[in-house]
Structure 1
Amino acid sequence: MTRGFRYGLVGTGVAAAALAAHDLIQKKHSVLRNYPVVGHMRYLLEELRPELQQYFIERNWDGRPFDRDIRSVIYERAKGIHGEKAFGTERDVSRSGHEYLVHSTTPLDPPPEVPRVMVGGPDCRQPYSMSLLNVSAMSFGALSANAVRALNEGARMGGFAQDTGEGGLSRYHLEKGGDLVWEVGSGYFSTRTEEGAFDPAQFRDNAAHEQVKCVSLKLSQGAKPGIGGVLPAAKVTPEIAAVRGVPVGEKCVSPAAHTVFATPIELIEFIASMRELSGGKPAGFKLCVGSRRDVLAICKAILEVGTAPDFIIVDGSEGGTAAAPLEYEDHVGRPLTDGLMIVHNALVGAGLREHIRIGASGKVAAGNDIVKRLIQGADYTNSARAMMMATGCIQAQVCHTGRCPVGVTTQDPRRAGALDVADKSLRVRRYHEATVAQATQMMASLGARRPEDLGPHLLRRTISSRETRSYAELFEWLRPGELVAEAPQSWAQDWQAASAHSFVPEPSQPH
């Protein structure tokens, strides 16, 4: 070996060591902190756009079709980079199923203040002003402590809410001061007796936290409706076990069904008790819609009991999760568009829509997603995956293993420690701010001054290469109180069969 060659090896080693030291110290890139030197391969691939990066973008959103540039847009907005693209659209806008928004010939300027939504019906004593975009349900356990901290700090700085997910109300949710929607699932974590039942006293104490702005009962989740939440054993650390009240190192599976209610009336009565126990804060529930009849049964229960939930969050079957059977992810539950319009129309037709706000959750990532969901019946939206990506998630799809390379979905202290809370919380705030601003700009381009001015005529779908039709033409939109007065033929059978006293149709009724 020549002296020059040896010097070259030494120099290479010194350079690699210096680069590794830099990677470990810097705070902007979590993947480099966990994988110094070799982690640069990821950023090298990003530089080889559009071909290689395009390949990974198209295949890295859980393998499902998605807008080709959405991941780039999320990252750029989170980093404070303008997201304009060159060369215009590359999608086939004439293909069947393509949807687009109808702009006005006389567009407006965006309003000086971004619109917000007041959540809280007549029985609510502490209404909450909700952002048009919020952090969707993601539990501590599924997420690392640092990811929870970053999301909550971003929510505090940006003035939006973080849904805790069903995994319980942890100290990390409360640490940074951001607004919270506390979600309670069938496992009743953070409000659970030793036997696994709902504990009213514990619920009252936790709901009293100033940061808890709303309380939500999870009936079902889009990615796995009909089964309970799952946290793999590898993630059930002593700390997670303490928060949830479950054994350490054992797979944590929530029951499929709740024990606090069995009928629509009992559900509405329990929501009312949650509101009372919380001191009058907005109380509601989340569901992935399966049967239209079930939704109508809940509407009948509201009318019979005489009180209503303050909000309903509709989760689409296209929603994500870190742990669910593939069969459930792809084959159970309604997509968000269908579920959202069913809930909206059922509430309108029952004369209940005025005081009940609707949230929409399921692949909401960009401004057009927000506007589209508002047109379809939502009042506000929630986002999970896009918010994760703003914290640095690179869609490695190893969430269930505890080996997340960027510290977002792991309980490994070393891996989680690579996620710098100060840097990532700023990215979360920037992503939210830019996306809501874009949604507000798009509403103005449609000629709408506020969300209430949007209507189904502003969203159109391509039927064939020669025909497009608006949502006003494609779908039936009920009038206020129409179901109660005289249900239209298309809804009459389900309305008649729905019962406030049972979620199960009478045997004589067709399903």
Structure 2
Amino acid sequence: MRFFTLGLMLFLTLVFSALGYFLGLSWLWGLTISLPLALLGIYDLIQRKHNVVRNYPILAHIRFMAEAIRPQIRQYFVESDIDGAPFTHNERSTIYKRACGMDDAKPFGTELNVYNLEYEWIDHSIVAKENPDPDNMPRVAIGGPQCSKPYSASLFNISAMSFGALGPHAIMALNKGAKLGNFAHDTGEGGLSPYHQKFGGDLIWEIGSGYFGCRNDDGTFNAEMFRDQAQSDQVKMVEIKLSQGAKPGHGGLLPGAKVTAEIAATRKIPQGKSCQSPAAHSAFSTPIELLEFVARLRELSGGKPAGFKLCIGHRWEFLAICKAMLQTGILPDFIVIDGAEGGTGAAPLGLSDYVGTPLREGLLFAHNALVGAGLRERIRIGASGKAVGGSRLAMNLALGADWCNSARGFMFALGCIQAQKCHTGRCPTGITTMDRLRQRSLIVEDKARHVQRFHYHTVRSLGIITAAAGLDHPAELKPHHICLRISSDEIRTAAEFYEFLEPGVLVNGSGQPTYRRYWEMARAESFAPVL
């Protein structure tokens, strides 16, 4: 059906041409409609700029016509089908411009309602610095005292998206873009596929509860299989996924119909059989066992940074991990905090909308917990959740993050239009599908450049904001640089509005009452609270 219109125009062109030849030139009037549309459809098939146009020749132009009319009609036609979508039209437009290397400057100034009670901003300095060169932006060293192969990471990287959830062309474009731009690509929990490894971009191998790519037949962790792959030079870090912001506390089922030969080989599961991803890990069940698993993965990988990712849930559970660090002396090299606003291909509505802590609150809690336990200086924190612009990166860094990851931002760089067909296999842009005919719309070489440019201009935006604040390094951004409108007549900095713990106060038995109460509920031997 996607090519029906093109086929119809080609057919009508032949029909009117034949009628004109045999019955008279008066029949050629039909060519004035069918021939231009047929030529347009042929051009749509061979052009390399728009994924959706390659997959929907002629028909896709209706979307662009709706977008071009006026904002109200554009919003009705383009955005009404993505109610509650995480990005506005202006945000998606900015991502597209950056990915295409276009100037994202705009006339007439700020479009935000600065009198909104939830408005926030970053203070600038009278003695601003010169804008830094994006190619020479500082990086973050990840790897604590127990790591022998630390990794120098970009301040902005590709967040976890699995092979299977994304098709081969999308995976290759992301990884080649990461290679071109010298930043990292998180594999997601679906295993290390050949498409992740084709172009040699830096990889963060995520290990989920299904242990895909390093599992025994019964679904348990296979150390030898993990070691053989993790020691690849392309794998720079290893990340244990405890929970995901979009569906925390939930496993997943991959239907047998979707387990193709490629996915089966990558995930090390039987082809054609449904595969259950458990809600919890089988390799550990206590905070101490979690840290022992972190240490084991670090050793098996040859000393590479090992850590874990989670969406903050029960506060005492995270503090129990902190207590286990103090008790065992085993430290993760990094912790990635995923916000509840994070994305996924499919999740139960109740989980995606109402379960899990949003990124800002989760980031602040994790940062404070590590500071209060006296551990923050030895552990890096990554932040993942709607981080697509320099301003959002700057705010995350100011509130405790060392670097940021983004998934949907890079998907938009690939050409995603938020059609919300990710779980159907019928993605109109060829990104979240294993259908080879649909995948052809995504040209790897072109979209890899889009990925590289989106990263470049986003990091450039962070550098511009940092310089405007009068700072030399994004790491110098602090809570007092962020201003929050609290009410119609009150403004506070984030340093004044949020609670920030002093180093070691939890260990010393002092500090903020709420943190202290959760600290007393936590124990290193179990995730269950002390009541």
TM more than 0.5: yes
1:92 aligns with 2:113: yes
Give 3-state SS (helix, strand or coil) of 1:484's partner.
Answer: coil
Give 3-state SS (helix, strand or coil) of 2:343's partner.
Answer: coil
Give 3-state SS (helix, strand or coil) of 1:482's partner.
Answer: coil
CA contact (8 A) 1:94 1:464 kept: no
Q: Give the aligned partner of residue 329 of structure 1.
A: 352
1:208 aligns with 2:227: no
- Equivalences for 1:258-297 in 2 at 5 Å? 258-297=281-320
CA contact (8 A) 2:66 2:77 kept: no
1:423 aligns with 2:476: no
CA contact (8 A) 1:142 1:231 kept: no
CA RMSD, aligned part only?
Answer: 1.7
Deviation at 1:482, TM superposition (A): 1.6
Counterpart Cα distance in 2 of 1:131 and 1:449:
16
Counterpart Cα distance in 2 of 1:337 and 1:58:
26
| Alignment CA distance shift 1:167-1:56 (3 Å) | farther
1:10 aligns with 2:34: no
Any idea what the Cα deviations from partners look like across 1:301-326, whole Å, max 9, x if unmatched? 11111120000000000101111100
Give 3-state SS (helix, strand or coil) of 1:69's partner.
Answer: helix
Question: Please, what TM-score do these two structures have when normalized by structure 1?
Answer: 0.96
1:500 aligns with 2:519: no
Q: 1:227 aligns with which of 247, 250, 253?
A: 250
Counterpart Cα distance in 2 of 1:392 and 1:82:
18
| Alignment CA distance shift 1:300-1:62 (3 Å) | farther
Q: 1:189 aligns with which of 194, 202, 212?
A: 212
Deviation at 1:233, TM superposition (A): 5.1
Any idea what the Cα deviations from partners look like across 1:270-303, whole Å, max 9, x if unmatched? 1011000000000000000002211111111111
Any idea what the Cα deviations from partners look like across 1:199-236, whole Å, max 9, x if unmatched? 00000001011110000000000000001144455533
Q: Give the aligned partner of residue 504 of structure 2.
A: 481
| Alignment CA distance shift 1:404-1:46 (3 Å) | same
Q: Give the aligned partner of residue 81 of structure 1.
A: 102
Any idea what the Cα deviations from partners look like across 1:463-488, whole Å, max 9, x if unmatched? 11211111111111111112112331
Larger radius of gyration: 2
CA contact (8 A) 1:317 1:333 kept: yes
Amino acid paired to 1:96: L
Q: Give the aligned partner of residue 386 of structure 2.
A: 363
Aligned residues: 507
Deviation at 1:53, TM superposition (A): 3.0
| Alignment CA distance shift 1:273-1:77 (3 Å) | same
| Alignment CA distance shift 1:29-1:233 (3 Å) | farther
1:130 aligns with 2:153: yes
CA contact (8 A) 2:217 2:269 kept: no
Q: 1:341 aligns with which of 346, 355, 364?
A: 364
Q: Give the aligned partner of residue 4 of structure 2.
A: none
Deviation at 1:14, TM superposition (A): 2.6
Deviation at 1:256, TM superposition (A): 0.4
Deviation at 1:54, TM superposition (A): 3.9
| Alignment CA distance shift 1:496-1:5 (3 Å) | farther
1:246 aligns with 2:269: yes
Counterpart Cα distance in 2 of 1:37 and 1:252:
39
Amino acid paired to 1:287: L
| Alignment CA distance shift 1:390-1:232 (3 Å) | farther
1:443 aligns with 2:476: no
Stretch moving more, 57-66 or 453-462: 57-66
Amino acid paired to 1:402: G
CA contact (8 A) 2:67 2:78 kept: no
Counterpart Cα distance in 1 of 2:76 and 2:488:
28
CA contact (8 A) 1:487 1:495 kept: no
Counterpart Cα distance in 1 of 2:33 and 2:215:
57
Identical pairs, percent: 53
Any idea what the Cα deviations from partners look like across 1:182-208, whole Å, max 9, x if unmatched? 000000000011111100000000101
1:490 aligns with 2:514: yes
Give 3-state SS (helix, strand or coil) of 1:76's partner.
Answer: helix
Stretch moving more, 235-244 or 446-455: 235-244
Deviation at 1:59, TM superposition (A): 4.7
Q: Give the aligned partner of residue 105 of structure 1.
A: 126
Counterpart Cα distance in 2 of 1:156 and 1:378:
24
CA contact (8 A) 1:311 1:358 kept: yes
Q: Give the aligned partner of residue 9 of structure 2.
A: none
Any idea what the Cα deviations from partners look like across 1:311-348, whole Å, max 9, x if unmatched? 00000001011111000001111000111011111111
Give 3-state SS (helix, strand or coil) of 2:109's partner.
Answer: coil
Amino acid paired to 2:305: P
Amino acid paired to 1:372: M
Deviation at 1:448, TM superposition (A): 1.8
Q: 2:328 aligns with which of 291, 305, 322?
A: 305
Deviation at 1:46, TM superposition (A): 2.8
- Equivalences for 1:16-165 in 2 at 5 Å? 16-55=37-76, 59=80, 63-64=84-85, 66-112=87-133, 113-165=136-188
CA contact (8 A) 1:234 1:401 kept: no
Counterpart Cα distance in 2 of 1:302 and 1:139:
30
CA contact (8 A) 1:170 1:243 kept: yes
Counterpart Cα distance in 2 of 1:325 and 1:349:
35
CA contact (8 A) 2:214 2:268 kept: no
CA contact (8 A) 1:230 1:324 kept: no
| Alignment CA distance shift 1:203-1:65 (3 Å) | closer
Amino acid paired to 2:529: P
Counterpart Cα distance in 2 of 1:253 and 1:71:
34
